Chains A and B, each alone.
Chain A
Amino acid sequence: MPGGAREVAESCVDSLNMELVATYCKRLHPTKPDLAGRRIEAIGYQVGLQLAERYTRERPRFTDHLESIKFICKDFWAEVFKKQVDNLKTNHKGVFVLQDNRFRWLTRISVDALPTTGAQNESAVAANAARASQAAGQYLYFPCGLIRGALTNLGVPCAVSAEVTTLPACEFNILVLKRVE
């Protein structure tokens, strides 16, 4: 292999992500947010497939679904987001919740806070949280696709959704789909 590993500035990844969301959600499909979300998720799906190939290269094979999910939480997350998932919960029936308290791609997002005067504090805070999760939700389509692609390539068909609790923490819900035998 010639030379060392090639590197890219992380600000490029941030900019690309922002532009991806801006293009699909505002320019191409401004009236159809669901369609924009599905398109972005599909892009993430293909990238996830390819990344899973690359990151599982030297490893021995996984024995079951839980091993694959743990791989996603530790090695895959560390490669893509430079940290591991903070919390993994499961109900042992095929639903997994991945919690990341400081999701790297959300750290640069902030929402203008509504002015909070004394009496309306509670509702203003709640409204702020709702606006934050709505604004940030668009930026989570791509990571959802990433996870879905990676898991599908490892043999775990699934559906992935995400929600923002408080910026920059977020949760990913993975529902493992039963294959019809």
Chain B
Amino acid sequence: MIVCVAVVGHNNNPLYLQSFSDDGNTLKFHYIVHCSLDVIEEKVSNSRRAGVNLNETFLGLLYPTEDFKVFGYISNTKVKFVMVTTDQDSRDADLRNFFRRLHAAYVDAASNPFHVPGKRITSAVFAEQVGNIVKSFGIPAPV
């Protein structure tokens, strides 16, 4: 199950971080997300150097820790979405879908004229949408 979702701006400034686990050690998730930023930078600059035109938005598994797996996604405007989960096997299609919906919710939140770009997202609607997306993650599609 997903334990944390984070949105990081293009200056590596945190825009939104929400943890969904019960034990409330949000600080640990701050640390994990912060470490994953380095991995994202490496992946992005590596794909440029290797000449492979891998201009994908979905970055895949960033790194596995002892209990968690961390997945990343970067948008065209260098906004990064990071997701920490305890699931041991997640389908690729599910992950891509998850990040696509998260990106859509972020675009709506950023279009808010009262939102200051670069500051934290304080919209309750965005928080609710993220909650819904997290809840519906991994539900198998009806056969």
CB pair A63 B76 closer than 8 Å: no
CB pair B107 A57 closer than 8 Å: yes
Of the 9-residue stretches B31-39, B49-57, B61-69, B120-128, which lies at the interface with chain A?
Answer: B49-57
CB pair A54 B77 closer than 8 Å: no
Closest chain A CB from B133 CB (angstroms): 14
Q: Say yes or no for A128: interface residue by CB 8 A criterion.
A: no
CB contacts under 8 Å to A, within B87-128, are: 100, 103-104, 106-107, 110-111, 113, 117
Alpha-carbon distance between A59 and B74 when the two chains are bound, in angstroms: 11
CB pair A52 B77 closer than 8 Å: yes
CB pair B110 A60 closer than 8 Å: no
Main secondary structure of the interface of A (DSSP, over half): loop
Closest chain A CB from B104 CB (angstroms): 7
CB pair B111 A63 closer than 8 Å: no
CB pair B111 A53 closer than 8 Å: yes
B100 contact set on A, CB distance < 8 A:
58
Pick the contact of A154 from B57, B74, B77, B110 — CB < 8 Å?
B77
Q: Say yes or no for A153: interface residue by CB 8 A criterion.
A: yes
Cβ-Cβ contact count across A and B, 8 Å cutoff: 48
CB pair B107 A54 closer than 8 Å: yes
B107 contact set on A, CB distance < 8 A:
53-54, 57
Interface residues in B, total, Cβ within 8 A: 21
Q: Looking across the interface, which residue of chain A has its beta carbon closest to that of B100?
A: A58
Q: Looking across the interface, which residue of chain B has its beta carbon closest to that of A43?
A: B113
B46 contact set on A, CB distance < 8 A:
none
Q: Say yes or no for A155: interface residue by CB 8 A criterion.
A: yes
Alpha-carbon distance between A52 and B117 when the two chains are bound, in angstroms: 12
Q: Say yes or no for A49: interface residue by CB 8 A criterion.
A: yes
Q: Say yes or no for B48: interface residue by CB 8 A criterion.
A: yes
Q: Say yes or no for A17: interface residue by CB 8 A criterion.
A: no
User: Given contacts A50-B111, A63-B53, are A56 and B117 in contact (CB under 8 A)?
Assistant: no
Closest chain B CB from A161 CB (angstroms): 23
Closest chain B CB from A67 CB (angstroms): 9
User: Given contacts A52-B77, A53-B77, are A60 and B56 in contact (CB under 8 A)?
Assistant: yes
Alpha-carbon distance between A58 and B113 when the two chains are bound, in angstroms: 22
CB pair A53 B55 closer than 8 Å: no
Q: Say yes or no for B78: interface residue by CB 8 A criterion.
A: yes
B57 contact set on A, CB distance < 8 A:
60-61
Closest chain B CB from A181 CB (angstroms): 15
Which residues of A are in contact with B by a Cβ distance under 8 Å? 46, 49-50, 52-54, 56-63, 153-155
Which residues of B are in contact with A by a Cβ distance under 8 Å? 10, 48, 53, 55-57, 74-79, 100, 103-104, 106-107, 110-111, 113, 117
Lowest 3 CB-CB distances: which A-B pairs, in order?
A56-B76, A61-B55, A60-B55
